[in-house]
Amino acid sequence: MKHLVAIIVFLVLIAAVIVMGFMAGRWKGGDLAHIEEWGLGGRRFGTLISWFLIGGDAYTAYTFIAIPALMFGAGAIGFFAVPYTVVCYPILYLVFPKLWKVAHKYGYITGPEFVRGRYGNRWLALAVGVTGIAATMPYIALQLIGMQVIIGALGIPGHLPLIAAFAVLAAFTWTSGLRAPAMISIVKDLLIYLTVLVAIIVIPVELGGFGHIFAKIPSSKLLLAVPPSGSFGAYSGYATLALGSAMALFLYPHTTTGILSSAGPKVLRRNAALLPAYTVLLSLLALLGFMAVATGVDKLPQFAAGFAQYKSSFAVPALFLHEFPDWFVGIGFAAIAIGALVPAAIMAIASANIFTRDIYEPFVSGSKGSAETLVAKLFAMVMVMGALVFIVAIPTKFAVQLQLLGGMWVIQTFPAIAFSVFTRFFNGWALLIGWLVGVVSATWLVVHNIFGAVWAFHVFGYTVPSYIALATVVLNAVVAFLLSIPLNAMANDRHKDETEAADYA
């Protein structure tokens, strides 16, 4: 069989982390029948584990496939991911230690639950929660796409291996909860660092150095296009993509779950300083896209089928197959595949936490009950199976389009969550209306832009291309601000706030 050594190495590493996933339930003790233990690891992860876990769920398999693919296909615009992962850490430092403190005091395990406690408005919390779940489902599907690309590159046919991998993921998620991806993320990140560092040294040596690599990149891909007079062109699109993506990153349920599972605000502040190490890794990873261009992997006949099926997403696997021996290909591909299992597990758990605390208990059972962990486990299985349906039954482009919409939607929760750790000026109903305006306008613009992320706005005679998510969340915040003034005068809801001002000091 072709690539037999790579397949063996790949399967051995995958089997090892699956065993770790099942063993993780015994790690750090705790009663996994309690949802805080199953869904948040008991809030006991220290600086090092949190660094691996938050990094593991923010930098997913699809990231390691998609960013070099964007560099390969579109060029310099793909490098927006680097400033985006610089800007997001000050947001982490300023907002989320406060959120952790309040969540720990009042037993909140999700962002929407904090919103409900802050505003006493279960409908606002429902909107925030449903937004998170809706944004997460296609995100899990994209992890499957990343794994599917790797399995296809190894020459393993059909959906069965993918289904088997995620059936096992569902099993260790059920038994071990958040402890499983926390433990596996250590192995995943070490393998990713090893793979990227070797690639960034070996491949340039093979190609004659970075000078030769950049010399082979078309000038149209090497730099952003200079905008015409009266337009900010790709510059504003690039900048708003970075800022909007940074604002959205830690609002996704899986990243919020990683944050709330840490041992305290000091752990989060340390990680805000330490996590930029992943940004360095990402910048090196992005260069693999240019290396694939320089190698001309799309012109190699043995990779024609892969490019036809996966297009630019096949750039990194093709590059590795061309440049490395099979045993190292197995290591690199296993790192990417494990990079799908870790965030997919966290996403399923995070969505299950939201469903249990923000949908099932407020609207169905009426109170917290002893069965909430079982409800969470069952919904986590629904999320995993739903993602599998995405891949098996729905064309890949729809999963990508829905994930794009998910990013547009999840940023609309920024005013309700991020602003609320600093002020109680906003009215809960005003925030709900602002959220609705933001979601509807973002969806309309994306659909009319044929699922392009950047829209050219015309402002005072200038053309200002902007990331749709950022423009619409600004509209969302303005609407919420303006409506809060009369609503606070007529129906002030500050008495519903179950938290105290001292909690945010």
More reliable by pLDDT, 396 or 328:
328
Q: Is the pLDDT of residue 2 over 80?
A: no
Give the pLDDT score at 306: 64
| Residue-wise pLDDT tens digits, 157-212 | 767 777 888 788 889 899 999 999 999 999 988 999 999 999 999 999 999 999 99
**Cβ distance 143 to 373 under 8 Å?**
no
- Alpha-carbon distance of 116 to 108, in angstroms, equals 10
- Phi then psi dihedrals of residue 159, to 5 deg: -90, -10
Task: Read off the pLDDT of each residue in 21-30 and give the average, rounded to a whole number.
Answer: 80
CA 373 to chain centre: 24
Average pLDDT score, the chain: 89
Give the pLDDT score at 1: 60
Find the DSSP H helices in 74-159.
Answer: 81-106, 111-119, 122-153
- Alpha-carbon distance of 141 to 436, in angstroms, equals 25
Q: Which two tokens stand for residue 266?
A: 């000091």
The contacts of residue 221 (CB under 8 Å, 6+ apart) are 74, 75, 76, 293
Give the pLDDT score at 77: 85
pLDDT band for position 138 (50/70/90)? confident
Q: Which fold has domain 4-395?
A: Sodium/glucose cotransporter (1.20.1730)
Exposure class string for 67-102: b at 16+ Cβ within 10 A, else e: bbbbbbbebbbbbbbbbbbebbbebbbebbbbbbbb
Mapping DSSP to helix (H, G, I), strand (E, B) and coil, where does residue 176 land?
Answer: helix
The contacts of residue 6 (CB under 8 Å, 6+ apart) are 154, 326, 327, 329, 330, 333
Task: Read off the pLDDT of each residue in 146-158 and give the average, rounded to a whole number.
Answer: 81
Flag the least confident range among 53-67, 190-204, 420-434. 53-67
Strand partners, 313: none
More reliable by pLDDT, 3 or 307:
3
This prediction has a pTM of 0.93
Give the pLDDT score at 393: 72
State the virtual CA torsion across 166, 403, 137, 387 in degrees, nearest 10: -40
- Alpha-carbon distance of 463 to 228, in angstroms, equals 10
pLDDT band for position 409 (50/70/90)? very high
- Alpha-carbon distance of 418 to 262, in angstroms, equals 18
Residue 422, number of CB atoms within 10 A of its CB = 11
Out of 72-81, 112-121, 278-287, 327-336, the most confident range is 112-121
Q: Is the pLDDT of residue 355 over 70?
A: yes
Q: Domain ranges for the chain, please list them.
A: 4-395
Give the pLDDT score at 179: 92
pLDDT band for position 97 (50/70/90)? very high
Instruction: Give residue for tokens 């992005």.
Output: 286
**220: number of CA atoms within 13 Å, CB side?**
3
Q: Which two tokens stand for residue 22?
A: 């099942």
- Alpha-carbon distance of 84 to 106, in angstroms, equals 32
Q: Is the pLDDT of residue 102 over 80?
A: yes
- Alpha-carbon distance of 172 to 344, in angstroms, equals 12
| Residue-wise pLDDT tens digits, 429-464 | 999 999 999 999 999 999 999 888 899 888 887 888
Q: Which two tokens stand for residue 42?
A: 């008991």
Give the pLDDT score at 309: 65
Residue 456, number of CB atoms within 10 A of its CB = 15
Size of the chain in residues: 505
Give the pLDDT score at 459: 81
State the virtual CA torsion across 400, 401, 406, 408 in degrees, nearest 10: 130
State the virtual CA torsion across 312, 314, 315, 319 in degrees, nearest 10: -170
- Alpha-carbon distance of 372 to 33, in angstroms, equals 9
Amino acid residing at 212? H
